[in-house]
Structure 1
């Protein structure tokens, strides 16, 4: 399929999905965030869905693995993982990966302007262990395989065009992706204990069929300057993380989020959130669970997203099954907690285009099995 055909009809609305409602204010995290009072207030007792939320917020279940999505004939996939929202007419779409192997792939939920589900469908099939990914500003979803020499697949959230494998983006144990329209690159994390942080530089912005895969180069410290070096063989015949001797290695790359000249990404092995100042070419810690005073409110750091008011929302893989907020004032605090699901992890946090609804999944739900996944929606007065 020609790339331009793939983009037709989505390029205008897609940029709003990826960036129009998630750009954060130009906050400078000069030191790792510390625990403090949440701007949303304390968590209440569990609601009927087992979710503890601040005052003014409510939750509902929108899909369950192995069950038909309400109002449709579509059966929701197992092990829901990374996700994103895209505008669709007066409504929106939430896409979600399936982290099973074999099978994998991704599905979508379509909502109308009032938040009712009007459709559900498959957008990617026949892949392996699709973990996270990222929304592109031209209205596509990158779904990434978290397996050795895994691929990135570019999918159509609107369900019209077939998914396309983007081999030029490298073959490694992919996790998340985040687009930077200012520098016209896509950042990529690698989920292994000595993985790297990458960027893909397309030959033409908006066309991911060809380009250069580069790896971040830096010293061994937790702050300093960084650069980029081309990966000689993105096909991964030799693991990409070993091809550049100056590459900086990270302990289990997970979520990735770009906004306003800054890219944040998480590393689960050491409980950290990293911040890259792209204009200054410097990196530092935005959060480290070993550097907080008292008990760390955020552990098992995983997927990450941003709200229009400047807050980061970080989901836990394990921990207390919380989504925590990191504010521009460098305060970290729980935003919500799921009770009774200690054998699961929280995945795929993403805001609706208007910023009033937060979607996410509990990958294994109360059962602890990939067949027990639950996808939720939380509504309330998010800061803007």
Structure 2
């Protein structure tokens, strides 16, 4: 298999960073990944929060749906989904979507330098089924509506500026977004069984009010070359965006999306795949496919949200499966990093690292109850490798 670059870097919270807050530099990566021993060793017994972690890692509950966030007067939203972290002075902010329809929106929780919660608040209200999204290099959060002809909303994690609807990014069943400051593009996934992969080219970088929406064109194979073609009618009416361009490549249920230094990864839940697009070479291939794991022993199923770490590891959350967050390492090993026990009726959402890379945030969307009102948002702290 031809080698690809899967790049390393330092997780930071400045405007120089792409979504996920990372600058990456050169570790080799070949695809597709296979099971193997992880960098942190085996999972231990479930802790008091029901989370199985490697040695040296600990968890805590940050918030529960329908309950006041500890240390604040703010009630946490139901069905927590996609999320991201933003630097805030010596502390940081974690934002989290609410996948409720109607209602939806986004909440934020603020931490000081020691990781103590100092506040929580709403940054978007009155939207529909806000699933995933993405962080921009100018420190806003794009919250995506996972409904037919849904919108992308640009929100302010700091709670100062009002959220703005961004129709130029297209109206379709949006899932996730990832920004590419080199090509000045925002990549977008579509959660349809015959969905497409898109990019939006703003007229002015940093301003998403206008620009060009394009769709990914390629053959039917799992690897090859690709091109981009303009979508004639981004509003998707009367013809859905995915049906407007002949030769647009179809993907089965687009989910998470992550960009790092000339490469974009995205997941498709319908076939349990992680796709890797080499933006310099103009090629795409599989970074992971559970059907290519011998013996039916795939550790990663129900692929969903994805983020990257300072080490060059991808962290992929499961919707169902074993309720795990799995790693795909730069040397193409896929392995569980954590598992949530006793919550088989839920899914893991919103993985995101604090700006210094020492804490991982995520949610169990339906918690132990199996209901959207039972969501739990967690933090894991430990010796994440640099």
TM range (shorter): over 0.9
CA contact (8 A) 2:278 2:284 kept: yes
Give the 3-state SS of the residue equivalent to 1:308 in structure 2.
coil
1:347 aligns with 2:349: yes
Partner of 2:368: 366
Q: Matches of 1:16 and 1:79 in 2, distance apart?
A: 31
Partner of 1:101: 101
1:31 aligns with 2:31: yes
Partner of 2:380: 378
Partner of 1:140: 140
Relative to 1, partners in 2 of residues 1:17 and 1:274: Cα closer, same or farther, differing over 3 Å? same
Q: When the two structures are superposed, what TM-score results if normalisation uses the length of structure 1?
A: 0.95
Give the 3-state SS of the residue equivalent to 2:168 in structure 1.
helix
2:335 to 333, 336, 339: 333
1:312 to 311, 314, 337: 314
Q: Matches of 1:90 and 1:367 in 2, distance apart?
A: 36
CA contact (8 A) 1:14 1:136 kept: no
Alpha-carbon deviation of 1:260?
1.1
Partner of 1:205: 205
Relative to 1, partners in 2 of residues 1:39 and 1:250: Cα closer, same or farther, differing over 3 Å? same
- How many residues are paired up? 373
CA contact (8 A) 2:19 2:134 kept: no
Alpha-carbon deviation of 1:15?
1.3
Relative to 1, partners in 2 of residues 1:14 and 1:143: Cα closer, same or farther, differing over 3 Å? farther
Q: CA RMSD in A?
A: 1.2
Alpha-carbon deviation of 1:28?
4.4
The structure with more strand, counted as a fraction of residues: 2
Relative to 1, partners in 2 of residues 1:31 and 1:175: Cα closer, same or farther, differing over 3 Å? same
Partner of 1:250: 251
1:268 aligns with 2:235: no
Partner of 1:7: none
Q: Deviations over 1:91-139 (max 9, x none)?
A: 0000000000000000000000000000000000000000000000001
Q: Matches of 2:52 and 2:207 in 1, distance apart?
A: 42
2:304 to 302, 305, 327: 302
1:76 aligns with 2:76: yes
Partner of 1:44: 44
Q: Matches of 2:340 and 2:219 in 1, distance apart?
A: 38
CA contact (8 A) 2:40 2:54 kept: yes
Partner of 1:4: none
Q: Matches of 1:24 and 1:99 in 2, distance apart?
A: 31
Alpha-carbon deviation of 1:293?
2.1
Q: Deviations over 1:172-224 (max 9, x none)?
A: 00000000000000000000100000000000000000000000000000000
Partner of 1:236: 236
Q: When the two structures are superposed, what TM-score results if normalisation uses the length of structure 2?
A: 0.95
Alpha-carbon deviation of 1:22?
2.5
Alpha-carbon deviation of 1:374?
0.1
Q: How does 1:141-290 map to 2 (within 5 A)?
A: 141-237=141-237, 238-290=239-291
CA contact (8 A) 1:146 1:191 kept: yes
Partner of 1:64: 64
For structure 2, the residue ranges without an aligned partner over 5 or more in a row are 1-11
Relative to 1, partners in 2 of residues 1:297 and 1:20: Cα closer, same or farther, differing over 3 Å? closer
For structure 1, the residue ranges without an aligned partner over 5 or more in a row are 1-11
Runs of 4+ residues deviating >2 angstroms? 16-31
Q: Which moved more, 1:19-28 or 1:276-285?
A: 19-28
Q: Matches of 2:227 and 2:342 in 1, distance apart?
A: 44
Give the 3-state SS of the residue equivalent to 1:85 in structure 2.
strand
CA contact (8 A) 2:68 2:75 kept: yes
